Structure 1
Amino acid sequence: MGTRVAEPAIDPAATEYVAADGVRLPLKAWLPEGGAPKAVILALHGFNDYSNAFAAPAKDWAAQGIATYAYDQRGFGRGPRPGIWAGVDTMQADLLGAAQAVRARHPGVPLFLLGESMGAAVVLTTLAEQGNLPVGVSGAILSAPAVWSRDTMPFYQRWALAVASWTVPWYELTPPKGLKIRASDNIEMLRALGRDPLVIKASRVDAVAGLTTLMDQALGSVGKLPGPALVLYGEHEELIPRLPVGIALSRLPKDRVQAAIYPKGFHMLLRDLHAGVVRDDIAAWVLDPGRPLPSGAETHPRVLEHRGALVAGNPPDPGKTAAVQGGS
Structure 2
Amino acid sequence: MALRIGIVWVLLLFAACAPRVQEAGPARFSPALTDTHYLTADGLKLKVRRHVAANPAAVIVALHGFNDYRAAFDDAGRWWSENNITVYAYDQRGFGSAPMRGIWPGDERLVADAGTMIDLVRDRHPGLPIYLLGVSMGGAVALAAAAEDPPVAADGIILVAPAVWGWSSLNPVYRGALWLAAHTVPGNKMSGQGLGIVASDNLAMLRALGQDPLVIKQTRTDAVYGLVELMERAYQSAGHVKLPSLLLYGARDELIPKGPVDVVAAQLPPPRRTAIYSDGYHMLLRDLQAEIVWRDIAAWAQDPAAPLPSGYEKRDLRAGLQPLP
Structure whose alpha-carbon radius of gyration is higher: 2
Per-residue Cα deviation, 1:59-115 (whole angstroms, up to 9, x for no partner)? 110111110001001110001111000101111111111111111121222111000
Query: Is residue 2:36 matched to residue 1:15?
Result: yes
- How many residues are paired up? 298
Structure 2 partner of 1:279: 294
Alignment partner, residue 7 of structure 2: none
Q: Give 1:166's match in structure 2, choosing from 161, 183, 187.
A: 183
Q: Partner residue of 2:102?
A: 83
1:242-280 deviation per Cα after TM superposition (whole angstroms, max 9, x unaligned): 221222222222x21111111111101110000111000
SS at match of 1:129: coil
Which whole-Å CA distance do the structure 2 matches of 1:129 and 1:250 have between them? 19
Per the normalisation by structure 2, the TM-score is 0.88
Contact 2:140–2:234 (Cα < 8 Å) also in 1 = yes
Q: CA deviation at 1:303?
A: 4.0
In 2, Cα distance between the equivalents of 1:160 and 1:65?
47
Is structure 2 residue 21 aligned with structure 1 residue 5? no
The TM-score normalised by the length of structure 1 is: 0.87
237, 256, 263: which one aligns with 1:247: 263
- Is the CA contact 1:92–1:126 (under 8 Å) kept in the aligned structure 2? yes
Partner of 1:188: 204
* 2:163 paired with 1:142: no
Matching residue of 1:234: 250
Q: Which amino acid aligns with 1:217?
A: R
**What SS does the aligned partner of 2:313 have?**
helix
Contact 1:118 1:211 in 2 (8 A): yes
Contact map agreement 1:16 1:27 (CA 8 A) in 2: yes
2: CA distance between counterparts of 1:155 and 1:299? Answer: 32
SS at match of 1:130: coil
Q: Which runs of 5+ in 2 are unaligned?
A: 1-23
C-alpha spacing 1:242/1:50, structure 2 compared with 1 (3 Å): same
Q: 1:262 aligns with which of 274, 277, 297?
A: 277
Match of 1:67 among 79, 82, 86: 86
In 1, Cα distance between the equivalents of 2:193 and 2:172? 19
CA contact (8 A) 2:209 2:215 kept: yes
- Residues 54 and 31 (structure 1), Cα distance of their counterparts in 2 relative to 1, 3 Å cut: same
Runs of 4+ more than 6 Å apart: none
Secondary structure of 1:26's aligned partner: strand
SS in 1 for 2:217: coil
- Residue identity matched to 2:190: L
Shift of 1:171: 0.8
- For 1:129, give the aligned amino acid: E
User: Hey, what's the Cα distance between the residues in 1 that align with 2:314 and 2:224?
Assistant: 34
Q: Distance in 1 between matches of 2:318 and 2:293?
A: 16
In the alignment, structure 1 segments of 5+ residues that lack a partner are 307-328
Determine the C-alpha separation between the residues in 2 that align with 1:165 and 1:132.
31
- CA RMSD of the aligned region, Å? 1.6
Q: How far does residue 5 in structure 1 lie from its aligned partner after superposition?
A: 2.1
Q: C-alpha separation between the residues in 2 aligned to 1:209 and 1:59?
A: 34
Three-state SS of the structure 1 residue aligned to 2:266 is helix
Give the Å deviation of 1:302. 4.4
Q: Identical aligned pairs, as a percentage?
A: 48
Residue 186 of structure 2 contacts residue 220 of structure 2 at CA under 8 Å; is this kept in 1?
A: yes
Deviation digits for residues 6-39 of structure 1, max 9, x if unmatched?
332112xx11000122211011001023xx4211
2:226 is matched with which residue: 210, 214, 217?
210
Deviates more, 1:239-248 or 1:124-133: 124-133
Q: Is 2:310 the counterpart of 1:295?
A: yes
Shift of 1:305: 6.9
Which letter maps to 1:121? A
Tell me if the contact between 1:143 and 1:231 (Cα under 8 Å) persists in the aligned partners: yes
Q: Work out the CA distance in 2 between the residues paired with 1:81 and 1:247.
A: 34
Q: Which moved more, 1:114-123 or 1:145-154?
A: 145-154
Given that 2:191 and 2:218 are in contact with CA atoms closer than 8 Å, whether structure 1 keeps it comes out as yes
SS of 2:155's equivalent?
strand
